Structure 1
Amino acid sequence: MTATPHNPPSPGQLLLQEGQDLLARGDRTGAAQVLARARDERDVVLAAHALIEEHKLVGSYNNVMGLDCTISEHDDIFGFFRGHHSSRNPLRDYLADGWRTLSELMVLLEAVDQPLLKTPRVLEFAAGHGRFTRHLVKALAPSRVVVSDVVPSAVEFSRRTFGVEGFLSASTPEAVQWPARYELVFVLSLFSHLPRSTWSRWLKVLYDAVAPGGLLVFSTHGVKAADFDHVQLDEEGYFFAASSESTAIDEQEYGTTFTSEAFVLARIAETVGLDALVHKAPVHFWNHQDAYVLRKSL
């Protein structure tokens, strides 16, 4: 570590260096204690976390959760937690959020009598860098999980870290090439970011990826979310702002979207037919996003 009078190391950087030195000397107990303190410093939280997980030190989240807790430095969702004023422990909040999503998805699928654990193959679309994937593979095993995202580093990270299959999505819905059809296509918080020009088009192509008898599950920012953020929906029940937590996708393609239930039902009706809707659950995911479940006929 190089320091100058104008650019001295931060407290977190000093702790991180001390932890690395202790590891090099074989002092795992001392390293665990120092790196746990470094993990509380926002500027080195991921670096300290990576060392604790890699060396399986006391305090690792893997020891508690029994899953791979590696987090990519490019993960925008982790960045959201790290930067949010309400998150006192972004690592815990990030990892717990994925676990919460798994439980909420399982409850949703029980409601339509298609339990997750009995689902042969799941496509997690717009999967990001594995916030949810790490929990899904623990429940199903990597061989039953496929991920897709428009960001190449996200797909590669999940393939390398969790052992799942993965393929690149595309900015244009019709350009996506589906390697197969899936009994469950799970799309969490994509429709809560889409502009009007691609909203229905994404619904159509994602429904096309569902195997006969299978399900498409997706979420939206509904009326509760709109009210919370003081957003006024238009006459269709729609609102879009060119801004999101993503730093990797153009904000005109991936912003922040709010939709009423009437808007969503109209898009389902005109795109795949309203008879495909088998369940809807307001404010289901994170007590913030509405959930919709469509079933493809046999």
Structure 2
Amino acid sequence: MLQFAVSGPFVVRLDNQHSSAQTKNMTVLPPSSPLTLGQQLLQEGRELLAQGDKELAAQVLVRARDERDVVLDAHALIEENDLIGSFRNVMGLDCTISEQDDIFGFFRGHHSSRNPLRDYLADGWRTLAELMVLLESVDQPLLKAGRVLEFASGHGRFTRHLVKAMGSSRVVVSDVVPSAVEFSRSTFGVDGFLSASVPESVQWPARYDLVFVLSLFSHLPRATWSRWLKVLYEAVAPGGLLVFSTHGTKAANFDHVTLDDEGYFFAASSESTAIDEQEYGTTFTSEAFVLARIAETLGADKLVHKVPVHFWNHQDAYVLRKP
């Protein structure tokens, strides 16, 4: 068993399985080095990989992965080199995370997340489980869907899990951020197309058995809320489903938000750094508001199921079916 002790800027190996000559080849940075502990560990891990010592590199990089300033760099090296401690070996899927992923940035910066990598990857898996339960309740299981569109897909937090369950050929992604679409296409092998900030500008390349829209309506301003509902419903194939989520009453109460007379609240602020806050802020809606918008936009009969606080025990879920 290989062990390390970290004291100040030094990483000291406690076993004697390597010769002194090999030890001399390892770089020890002086206490005066301006590098952070994470940067030092990351540098040493890279040197060990260059020397071909994957076993020792794994232990150094796993330690580096705990340092938030280098967490993604260390994670990438572990995953790319298939080292012991990789999430890929545990989860059986591609665990590559983009540096531009705002959702991972949210986890990394949140005080409650002790392990942002684990929390981020587990969160996508949880979403898959919650979606599958929701679809079972309307007798249209996920795995029997022909093609699934994940709309507002981001950089693949959920996509990677959907691909594991269904295969890349049945999954399509769309997002308004070009780098997000390209990342999912190149990393997970899915089809993808660019969305738009104006709902009516979106061109659907096909119709889909399931259109899944997680946490988009929880960010929309009043001016585009109903318009997006109408446009997204148009992407559903006959007999297919539109599933979307909202910040409902529980979320509003938790954040001490007061809804207006319609049951709506919008603040021009969100975790996204890539989208204008006036187009993508933070939105809270009552169930009555959502039901009224469905009725006036599509017809109340299109709603086949609704579950409060279904996703993440925080967002309400709505299921609409197209005849």
Given the two structures, how large is their TM-score scaled by the length of structure 2? 0.90
Pair 1:147-2:173 in alignment:
yes
Q: Which whole-Å CA distance do the structure 1 matches of 2:39 and 2:315 have between them? A: 38
Task: Look up the match of 1:97.
Answer: 123
For 1:141-220, list aligned pairs within 5 A: 141-220=167-246
Cα drift, residue 8 of structure 1: 1.2
Q: Which whole-Å CA distance do the structure 2 matches of 1:230 and 1:216 have between them? A: 30
Pair 1:83-2:135 in alignment:
no
Shift in alpha-carbon separation, 1:6–1:172, aligned structure 2, 3 A: farther
Report the count of equivalent residues.
295
The C-alpha deviation readout for 1:14-56, integer Å capped at 9, x for no partner, is 0000000000000001100000010000000000000000000
Q: Which of residues 81, 96, 109 is equivalent to 2:135?
A: 109
Q: Tell me which structure has the larger Cα radius of gyration.
A: 2
Over 4 Å off, 4+ runs = none
The C-alpha deviation readout for 1:160-216, integer Å capped at 9, x for no partner, is 000000000000000000000000000000000000000000000000000000000
Cα drift, residue 269 of structure 1: 0.3
Q: Which whole-Å CA distance do the structure 1 matches of 2:35 and 2:186 have between them? A: 33
**Aligned AA for 1:175?**
S
**Aligned AA for 1:292?**
Y
Task: Look up the match of 2:297.
Answer: 271
Q: Which whole-Å CA distance do the structure 1 matches of 2:228 and 2:33 have between them? A: 48
For 1:1-298, list aligned pairs within 5 A: 8-297=34-323
State the secondary structure of the residue aligned to 2:196. coil
Structure 1 residues without counterparts, runs of 5 or longer: none
State the secondary structure of the residue aligned to 1:245. coil
**Aligned AA for 2:132?**
M
Q: Which whole-Å CA distance do the structure 2 matches of 1:52 and 1:64 have between them? A: 13
**Aligned AA for 1:282?**
P
**Aligned AA for 1:134?**
R
State the secondary structure of the residue aligned to 1:8. coil
Cα drift, residue 6 of structure 1: 10
State the secondary structure of the residue aligned to 1:129. coil
Structure 2 residues without counterparts, runs of 5 or longer: 1-28
Q: Which whole-Å CA distance do the structure 2 matches of 1:7 and 1:114 have between them? A: 59
**Aligned AA for 1:44?**
V
Q: Which whole-Å CA distance do the structure 2 matches of 1:212 and 1:76 have between them? A: 34
Higher relative contact order (CA 8 A, sep 6+): 1
Q: Which whole-Å CA distance do the structure 2 matches of 1:256 and 1:269 have between them? A: 23
Q: Which whole-Å CA distance do the structure 1 matches of 2:240 and 2:143 have between them? A: 14
Given the two structures, how large is their TM-score scaled by the length of structure 1? 0.98
Quick one: percent identity of the two aligned structures? Answer: 85
**Aligned AA for 1:74?**
Q
Cα drift, residue 7 of structure 1: 8.4
Q: CA RMSD in A?
A: 1.3
Shift in alpha-carbon separation, 1:7–1:207, aligned structure 2, 3 A: farther
Q: Which whole-Å CA distance do the structure 2 matches of 1:16 and 1:137 have between them? A: 31
Q: Which whole-Å CA distance do the structure 2 matches of 1:10 and 1:165 have between them? A: 40
